[in-house]
Amino acid sequence: MIGQLKKYLTNPLYRSIGIMFFLGSLVFGFWVTRIPEVKQSLGLSEGMLGLALFFSPMGAVLSMLVSPGLLSRFGVGRVTTITAVVLYLASVFPVMAFNYTFLCAALFFHGLAVGMINVAANNLVGVVEKQDGVLIMATSHGFFSLGGIFGAALGGVLAAYQVDAVMHFTISNVSFAAIIWWYVRKHVWHLADEVKAKGPALVLPARSVWALALISFCVLLGEGAIADWSSVYLKEFLNSDAYVAGMGYAAYSLTMTLGRFNGDALTQRYGSGQILTWGFLIALTGIMMVVLGSTWIVISGFALAGIGYSCIVPVLMSNAAKKDEVSSAHGVASVASMGFVGFLVGPVAIGFIAEGFGLNVGFLLLVLLNLFSILLSRRSLATVKSGAKS
C-alpha cells in the first residue's frame, strides 16, 4: 500500500485527482455534521427535512443522465475542473438557507453539482488509466473515503464548538475552490475522452454496460443501507451503548479506506473478475456476521463488509470507462446513475422490511443481493476481464 501511495502522490496528475476526490468528500462530511443545525434553525420536522434532503439526489440523478453530452462536447478535464469549483461554492448555500423553499432549491442545485462531479471525476480517472496504462481508480476512491472520515470528524468538532456554519463553509469551500482552480486545473484541464459520445444528451445505461450497472446498483444499495442503519441496528436492535453504536460504521469506513488504497495493486495482480467475486464473498461473510452475531461480532462484520465492498465500485467505474462500444462518459454515467439509485433505495428498502420483520431480517436483503451480484459478475467475467491488467 505504501509503495502504491508513494507512486500515486509523486505524480502531479494523479496527485491532483486525489486532491479533488479528497476535497469533494471532505465537503460532504462537513455538510452531514451541519444537518441537525439547519433542521433546528428552520424549525423543520423529520418529514420536512427528509423531503428537503431528497431534492439533492433528484438533482444528482438528473445531472448524471445529461453529463455525458457535456463531457464529450467540452472535454472531461474542463468539465471536471469547473464542476468541482461549482460544487464547493454550491455547498455553501444549504447552510445559508433562510426558509424552506431556499433550502430545497439549494439542495437541488447542490445535487446537480454532486451528480456531475461523480460522473466527471470517475470518467477523468478512466481516461487517465487508458492514457497511461495504469490502475488508479481504487486509490482515487480511497482518498474519497479518507476525505469523508476527516470531514465528519472535523465538521463535528467545529459544530460542537458552535463555529458559525456560514463562516466555516465560506472560508473552507472558497479555499478548496481556489486549490482546484490554481493547482489542479493546470494538470487536468487538457484531458479529454478520445471517443466522442453519439446520440442524445439524455441517456440511460448502455446495453453493453448493463451488467456493470446492475452490480453497481446492488453494491451501493448495500453501502447506503449500512451507512443509514448500522448505528440504529447496534443501538436499538442489540441494545448497545451510544458510544458503541457508531463503531459499526466507523469500522466499515476505515476498512473501506484501507481496502481502496490497496485495491489497484490487487486488481493489477488478480484481475477485475477475481476482485469482484472475492469482494462480494467477503462482504457476504460480513453481512452474515451482522445478521447472526452479538455486538462485537456485528462490528467485525461491518468491518469485513467494508473490505469486501471497498474495491467493487472502483473496478466497475474503471471497466465502464474502458468499454469500446461507448464513450467513457456514457459508460461511467451508466454505472454511476444506477449505483446512485441503489444508494437511495437501500435505506428505504431496509426500513420497509425492518418495520414488518425486524432489522436483522432487513439486512438479509444484502445477503441476497451479494449472491445475485456474484452470479452476475461471473456471467459478465469476459466483459469485465478486459480491464483487469491495464
pLDDT at 170 over 50: yes
pLDDT at 271 over 50: yes
Distance CA 311, CA 252 (A): 13
Q: Rounded mean pLDDT of 335-342? A: 82
pLDDT at 390 over 50: no
Q: Which residue type is seen at 330? A: H
What's the confidence (pLDDT) of residue 389?
Answer: 42
Q: Quickly count: other Cβ atoms within 10 Å of residue 43's Cβ.
A: 8
Q: First-to-last CA distance in the chain?
A: 18
Q: What is the CATH architecture assignment of 1-203?
A: Up-down Bundle (1.20)
Residues of the chain with CATH 1.20.1250.20: 1-203, 204-390
pLDDT at 141 over 90: yes
Whether 61 contacts 181, CB under 8 Å: no
What's the confidence (pLDDT) of residue 355?
Answer: 79
- Which residue would you say has higher pLDDT here, 319 or 16? 16
DSSP codes, 296-365:
HHHHHHHHHHHHHHHTHHHHHHHHHHT-SSS-HHHHHHHHHHHHHHHHHHHHHHHHHHHHHH-HHHHHHH
Grid coordinates in use for 239?
441494545
Task: Give Cα 58 to chain centroid, integer Å.
Answer: 16
| Of the candidate ranges 135-149, 247-261, 340-354, 363-377, the one whose mean pLDDT is the lowest | 340-354
Distance CA 42, CA 56 (A): 18
Whether 137 contacts 315, CB under 8 Å: yes
Grid coordinates in use for 108?
437541488
pTM for the model: 0.83
**Residue 324: pLDDT band by 50, 70, 90 thresholds?**
low
Pick the CATH number of 204-390 from 2.60.120.560, 1.20.1250.20, 1.10.580.10, 1.10.3470.10: 1.20.1250.20
**Residue 387: pLDDT band by 50, 70, 90 thresholds?**
very low
Grid coordinates in use for 372?
445475485
Tell me what the pLDDT averaged over the chain comes to: 85
pLDDT at 95 over 90: yes
What's the confidence (pLDDT) of residue 380?
Answer: 62
